[in-house]
Amino acid sequence: MLPKPLAYVAWPIYWFFQGAYLMGLWVIGHECGHHGFSEYPWLNDTIGFIVHSLILTPYFGFKYSHRTHHANTNSIEYDEVWIPKRKADKLYSEILNNPTGAFIVFVFKIVLGFPLYFVFNLYGRKYEKGITSHFYPYSPIFNDSERFQIFLTDLGVFATCYAVYRAAVIMGTQWVINIYGMPILFMSGFFILLTYLHHTHPSIPHYDSTEWDWLRGALATVDRNFGFLNHAFHDVTRTHTVHHLFPTIPHYHTFEAREAVKPILGDYYKYDDTPILEAVWRETKDCIFIEPDEVNGQKKGIYWFYK
């Protein structure tokens, strides 16, 4: 056992770095969902299912919603994640549109965004009918041919939860919290940071069906620099744009692909080197809602963030 003063320092360091490397493991599962890990689909799904189940992520549920996200990136009607608020949403445009409100939103996203997204589809697309959840086989997110795999996803996550419960019975709750629970909490925070910052920036437009096309949406993403954590995250932090253009490229080739594509994209390639905590605070307080662009008093189908 560590002396208490040392434990107060050592445990948070462990949680942080273990959470970062769990996020790297999550990236491998995500890559399996894109069939970029192996040329064999069955191997991709087997490894992805095991990896994501162990870190409480619904593999098949996310695989299918993420497929839709890639097919409809930055469409305000059909994208699956980080759908911006509109000015008519008074909770965000008026009540939370201040430093205190921004801080509450920031903490809420980091701490609870991961489970609430998968369980209740928070920050996701609004469907008119049905229970929208990555764990619900009859959710409108999925089609009939995919529902059995969602059952399997639930079994995988349930098996992990049961194993964690048994470990708590044998080793003690505090041991499980320190070794597994807190790293998962840090991993979930990193997941929100990565996905939010890749798809939220003052220079990023969103489109309705009158203006959207696949290439416009795919290019409306931002690469970020997470410093020493880039390695732990397999450099997906700095290669998200090329990932949207070529989602089956393995993570160990995305950086060289980015360097090859950048001269071709020119100004269409977006990179922001702002320190991450500063960037997430700026985006949280400044990218509150979107409204359509106007030309000669006529609203267009291109939407920008407003504070």
Predicted pLDDT at 3: 63
pLDDT of residue 287: 93
As a whole number of Å, the CA-based R_g of the chain is 20
Q: What confidence score (pLDDT) does residue 293 get?
A: 87
Which pLDDT value is given to residue 258? Answer: 96
Q: Each residue of 29-51: pLDDT tens digit?
A: 999 999 999 999 999 999 999 99
pLDDT of res. 1: 54
Residues in the chain with pLDDT values less than 50: none
Phi, psi torsion values for 141, nearest 5 degrees: -65, -30
Q: What is the pLDDT of residue 43?
A: 97
| CB atoms closer than 10 angstroms to residue 284 | 21
CA distances for 165 relative to 10, 53, 59, 156, 173, angstroms: 24, 15, 21, 14, 9
pLDDT of 295 = 73
pLDDT of residue 272: 96
Digit-coded pLDDT (tens) for 257-286: 999 999 999 999 999 999 999 999 999 999
